[in-house]
A and B are shown apart, each in its own frame.
Chain A
């Protein structure tokens, strides 16, 4: 328990990436692993850094990009949580996903050459902007970058399918919590603790449920001792049982 934690009352809630430098990536960098795993040389690392621009902070509700904006870059979340969504002609919102630090957004704009969705900050957000033309050029010389891009794209597509299909509200919510818990754990959070930057309305929309249903199921999970909810903080108290509930979706 160091002195630095004294001033960081929100430490447990919002992971802020430490700043990288010419020789080191931010701890949550989307491409950090590529270089570390494959031993990219310092010159290449430097080149990658040259095409990265730190952007933000965006305030809650601000858009990183909007539907129809010309595609020029992909973004990696550095800190905070980003929601992607589309809004139909009647003004109805459809939530596509939530993106945590280290995750990429804008990949689905590569083909249409314009962003097919909005990316909105759910809390104060900082991002890294990768100019796509420059990244493509670099990728021809650094195969690791290209592979990582492909890997991320296919993971993205796989993730979307998780919540389609005919599943009960219990199964959907359990799967949502288990998967989100995994992503938080990958980011170095204490196992089983999540901070929900998204509103229950957003969760409900994403899972195609009513907001009241989300709360009713969560309250029941809490009464059963599976989770503990305190405001926006959520702890997975009995992850194995949640996993069992989510199995029909997760083991598909």
Chain B
């Protein structure tokens, strides 16, 4: 395992050199490689095959609520801005229909061990609507009785009362993730998201009262008008709120891909050197405050499940970042939601018209996807090992996949040599280990094992 979790060593010059485009590897292959030739029939086949496993995997559900009341300019998510709360009813009708259709395909003993509401803004729905969704999922799938089950939701405190958060948590949602991004009013105005510390604290208090066991705050560095001083103040305020987890994402400015980002004045964005300073002080302040660097952009208090999973080697990576749950089959509900059943990835229609049309005709709204081939599976495993445990045991890997590691990965290992010279990894014939300084650059390390890394027409956000 990783020798010392907090020994994340920050090296400015080094990190600057690795500030190139790289996927976040919440899946491998990554979503841009999904194909339209994968549809409903392929997903149904994958579900059927997964039901036939001797011990079928538990299920994890992701439910996408695409609506937002107000556009945050940095956002790259699939979302729809509206003030018409009535839109929720039409969407929910389809969501319930989708749950019913999908659940019928999974064997009855396959319970939900994980549930995540994301968006958009899940709290665009009112408490009753949300609880109705939870009930519907429980009725159709059944919930795992494992106390370690993870039921999470993303909440926007600007539109969420303390009581809302309390009721949601009391209904069984035990993890709450709250978007903060930055507490500085100048930055907040530049990104069109004005939100006070008090509003944020109220949601945290409500969630804890309702029984939530883990609260995460999201931050973004690299936003317009951020300075090291202003962001230090935000970090202090965040630490004072003492969330169990903190995610600090690097802002990816891709205005040609995400329309909302065109509202951002690119001359107000911090330059590369400032971005690095922002990241560096984030790491230093959070680790000084006792947070463990889990990997990439995630931090957690040492007694949080995530930090425990890291230290005992049971950490997993999924579309929500990191997770303590082992191989579940992931089912995505709602517009643009991604699923991962057996050896397949699938994604729902990315617009309401396509999503509604499929369900209104009694079909699953799968728009694209991918069946992983043998090579994909081998590389996905290598990437998972490195991004989660930071340690790859060569002999065990060879045994699992019946291959000759140095021969199979000779190109990857050649690329990795440069990273090894920079002290990001240590490799011997027996194992590859990520060093503490390498934990910042896991995306770059994983990229060495990515057969699609050189695809010409896909742009990724910068790794730092």
Contacts and interface: CB of A to CB of B under 8 A. Distances in A.
A6 B404 contact: yes
A231 B51 CA distance: 11
B428 to A, nearest CB: 17
B407 A6 contact: yes
Contacts of B351: none
Contact of B404 (A3, A196, A202): A3
A231 B107 CA distance: 16
B54 A196 contact: yes
A219 interface: yes
Interface string B368-388: 000000110110000000000
Given A9-B377, A199-B49, A201-B52, 4 more contacts: A1-B398, A3-B407, A6-B404, A212-B108
A211 interface: yes
Given A10-B374, A211-B107, A5 B404 contact: yes
A46 interface: no
Contact of B402 (A3, A5, A201): A5
Given A5-B402, A6-B403, A222 B52 contact: no
A200 B404 contact: no
Interface string B290-308: 0000000000000000000
Interface of A: 1-3, 5-6, 8-12, 196, 198-203, 211-212, 214-215, 218-219, 222, 229, 231-232, 234
A212 B404 contact: no
Contacts of A5: 402-404
B90 interface: no
A3 B404 CA distance: 8
A200 B54 contact: yes
Interface string B382-415: 0000000000000000100111100110000000
Contacts of B109: 211-212, 215
A10 B375 CA distance: 11
Given A1-B398, A211-B107, A219 B407 contact: no
B430 interface: no
A232 B398 contact: no
The CB with the most chain B CB atoms within 10 A, among A8, A11, A215, is that of: A215
Nearest to B399: A12
The CB with the most chain B CB atoms within 10 A, among A203, A231, A234, is that of: A231
B56 interface: yes
12 contacts: A3-B407, A8-B403, A9-B402, A12-B402, A199-B51, A199-B52, A200-B54, A214-B54, A215-B54, A222-B55, A232-B54, A234-B54
A8 B402 contact: yes
B55 A215 contact: yes
Given A5-B402, A5-B404, A9-B401, A229 B378 contact: no
Contacts of B398: 1
Nearest to A198: B52
B198 interface: no
A141 B56 CA distance: 52
A8 B377 CA distance: 13
A4 to B, nearest CB: 10
B29 to A, nearest CB: 16
B53 A232 contact: yes
A200 B110 CA distance: 13
Nearest to A216: B109
Contacts of A203: 54
B404 A231 contact: no
Contacts of B56: 200, 215
Contacts of A10: 374, 402
A198 B51 CA distance: 11
A1 B54 contact: no
Interface string B30-67: 00000000000000000001011111100000000000
Given A9-B378, A212-B109, A1 B404 contact: yes
Given A11-B402, A211-B107, A212-B109, A6 B55 contact: no
A5 B407 CA distance: 10
Contacts of A2: 404
A7 B402 CA distance: 9
A10 to B, nearest CB: 7
Interface in B277-333: none
Given A3-B404, A5-B404, A6-B407, A219 B55 contact: yes
A5 B403 CA distance: 6
A242 B53 CA distance: 20
Given A1-B398, A11-B402, A211-B107, A6 B408 contact: yes
Contacts of A232: 53-54
Interface string B253-265: 0000000000000
A229 B402 contact: no
Contacts of B408: 6
A201 B55 contact: no
A202 B108 CA distance: 17
Contacts of A219: 55
Contacts of A1: 398, 404
A162 B402 CA distance: 34
Contacts of A211: 107, 109
A214 B407 CA distance: 40
Contacts of B107: 211-212
A2 B398 CA distance: 12
A234 to B, nearest CB: 6
